[in-house]
Amino acid sequence: MKKRQFFGALAAASALPVLESAQAAPVKTSGPVLLTVTGPISKPNRGPLDPGGFDQMLVKHKVSFTKAYVFDFAMLAALPAITIKPTLEYDSKPHTLKGPLLVEVLKAAGATLTENSTIVLRAVDGYAASVTVAQARAQRYIIATHLEGAPIALGGLGPLWAVYDADKVPEMAKKPVAERFGSCPWGLYHVEVQAVVV
């Protein structure tokens, strides 16, 4: 598909209401969906993956689900936010990032979490990193929506970035700054909670 056609289809998709499914009542979003949460969730607000329709990036990244919870920017901004000031690898300087805690975003989606649950964080370029719930909680991962007080730009590190303050995690602070953020994908658009198999 040509880029122009793809972006036209993407714009049209973002204007559609969130899909209704047998398991979920539709949720009206005030803007385009930025984050899709999948896995064991108890209150989905959209139906299954649409492989032949407007879920093309999810399909390309081999994501599959029967239900999901989606957030637009306003929904994420409405959650309690915290501010962190990590030294970032791009210029080795501290920067102010703000957003809700990752674990709280998952709770808002009705995710079933155990400390051993794996969370897969996926970026728009296909890069994926995994952390456990225990790690996300202990290191206070956030889904950053703001950098230096402004929404994070698409084409920069945003609009969403899964990140933590590595300066405050002793085992990470000992590492060179370029080695601290391998589990922090910017351009985040999908979070998968993997059920613990017993």
DSSP 95-118: --EEEEBHHHHHHHTTB---TT-E
pLDDT over 80 at 92, yes or no:
yes
Pick the CATH number of 3-194 from 1.10.150, 4.10.260, 3.90.420, 3.40.50: 3.90.420
Residue 177: per-residue pLDDT: 95
Indicate the pTM of the whole model.
Answer: 0.84
pLDDT tens column, 104-155: 999 999 999 999 999 999 999 999 999 999 999 999 999 999 999 999 999 9
Cα–Cα separations (whole angstroms), residue 118 to 92, 166, 194, 195: 29, 20, 5, 7
pLDDT tens column, 12-49: 444 444 443 334 445 567 789 999 999 999 999 999 99
What average pLDDT does the structure give for the chain? 87
Residue 29: per-residue pLDDT: 73
In angstroms, the CA 196 to CA 164 distance is 24
Q: Rounded mean pLDDT of 52-62?
A: 93
Q: Which long-range contacts (C-beta less than 8 Å, at least 24 apart) are formed by 87-96?
A: 87/166, 87/167, 87/177, 88/177, 88/181, 89/177, 89/178, 89/180, 89/181, 92/177, 94/167, 95/147, 95/148, 96/146, 96/147, 96/148, 96/149
Q: How remote is the C-alpha of 55 from its chain's centroid? A: 16
Write a three-state SS string for 139-176. CCCEEECEECCEECCECCCECCEEECCHHHCHHHHCCC
Strand 188-194 to strand 33-38: parallel, antiparallel, or no bridges (unpaired)? parallel
Residue 195: per-residue pLDDT: 76
In angstroms, the CA 41 to CA 75 distance is 17
Residue 28: per-residue pLDDT: 65
Choice between 90 and 196, residue whose per-residue pLDDT is larger: 90
Residue 60: per-residue pLDDT: 95
